[in-house]
Amino acid sequence: MQFTCSTSSLLQALQLTSRAISGQQALPILGNILLQAKDDRCTLSATDLELSIVTAIPANVETAGSVTVPAKAILNFAQFTSDAEVTITVKDGTQVHCRAAHGKTVLSGEAASNYPSISMVESERSFSVDGATLLDALHYVTFASAKSSLRPVLSGVSLRAEDGHIVFVATDSYRLSEYSIKADAPKDLACIIPVKVLDELKVLLAGKKLPKRTPTEEAEPEGARSEALPVTVVLGAQQIELRVGETHLLSRLIEGTFPDYRQIIPKEHALTALLPLKDLTTAVRRMHYFAKEVNNTLTFSFTPGQVQITTPQTPIGKDEATIAVEGLHSEGKIALSSGYLLDFLTHAEGEAVTLHMVDSMHPAVFHLPGNDHLLHLVMPLRMQE
Integer Cα distance of 21 and 247 in angstroms: 16
What CATH number is given for 125-252 in this structure?
A: 3.10.150.10
What's residue 210's pLDDT? 52
Contact criterion met (CB below 8 Å) for 318 and 264: no
Beta bridge partners of 162: 165
Integer Cα distance of 42 and 35 in angstroms: 7
Q: For residue 19, what is the enclosing H or E element?
A: none
- Crossing angle of helices 338-345 and 277-291, rounded to 10°: 150
Reported as a pLDDT band with limits 50, 70 and 90, residue 223 is: very low
Instruction: Return the percentage of the chain with pLDDT > 70, whole number.
Output: 94
What's residue 219's pLDDT? 41
3-class SS at 203?
helix
**How are strands ordered across the β-sheet holding 352-357?**
190-194, 156-162, 165-171, 175-182, 371-378, 364-368, 352-357, 271-276
- Burial of 123 per CB tally in 10 Å (0-12, 13-18, 19+): exposed
What's residue 329's pLDDT? 87
What's residue 383's pLDDT? 82
What's residue 385's pLDDT? 62
- Does residue 65 carry a pLDDT above 90? yes
> What confidence tens digit (pLDDT) does each residue in 334-368 have?
999 999 999 999 999 999 999 999 999 999 999 99
Which pTM does this prediction carry? Answer: 0.89
Q: For residue 6, what is the enclosing H or E element?
A: strand 2-6
Which one-letter DSSP state was computed for residue 206? H
Which of 179, 5, 138 minimizes the C-alpha distance to 81? Answer: 5
Integer Cα distance of 178 and 144 in angstroms: 9
Comma-separated ranges of CATH 3.10.150.10 domains in the chain? 2-114, 125-252
User: What are phi and psi for residue 197, nearest 5 degrees?
Assistant: -70, -30
Cβ neighbours, 10 Å, residue 313: 12
What's residue 215's pLDDT? 45
What's residue 150's pLDDT? 82
> What confidence tens digit (pLDDT) does each residue in 238-276 have?
999 999 999 999 999 999 999 999 999 999 999 999 999
Reported as a pLDDT band with limits 50, 70 and 90, residue 6 is: very high
Q: Which of 148-152, 285-289, 350-354 has the lowest mean pLDDT?
A: 148-152
Reported as a pLDDT band with limits 50, 70 and 90, residue 226 is: very low
Instruction: Return the percentage of the chain with pLDDT > 90, whole number.
Output: 84
Comma-separated ranges of CATH 3.70.10.10 domains in the chain? 267-378
Domain 267-378 has CATH 3.70.10.10: yes
> What confidence tens digit (pLDDT) does each residue in 305-332 have?
999 999 999 999 999 999 999 888 899 9
- 169-192 average pLDDT score: 94
What's residue 227's pLDDT? 52
- What is the DSSP annotation of 96-147? EEEEETTEEEEEE-B-GGGSPP--PPP-SEEEEEEHHHHHHHHHHHGGGS-S
- Mean pLDDT computed over every residue of the chain: 92
Which one-letter DSSP state was computed for residue 381? B
Fold of 2-114: DNA Polymerase III; Chain A, domain 2 (3.10.150)
Integer Cα distance of 344 and 375 in angstroms: 11
3-class SS at 330?
coil
Cβ neighbours, 10 Å, residue 125: 13
- What is the DSSP annotation of 222-279? TTTTTT--EEEEEE-SSEEEEEETTEEEEEEPPPS----GGGGS-SS-SEEEEEEHHH
Q: Which of 31-35, 128-132, 176-180, 376-380 has the lowest mean pLDDT?
A: 128-132
- Does residue 209 carry a pLDDT above 60? no
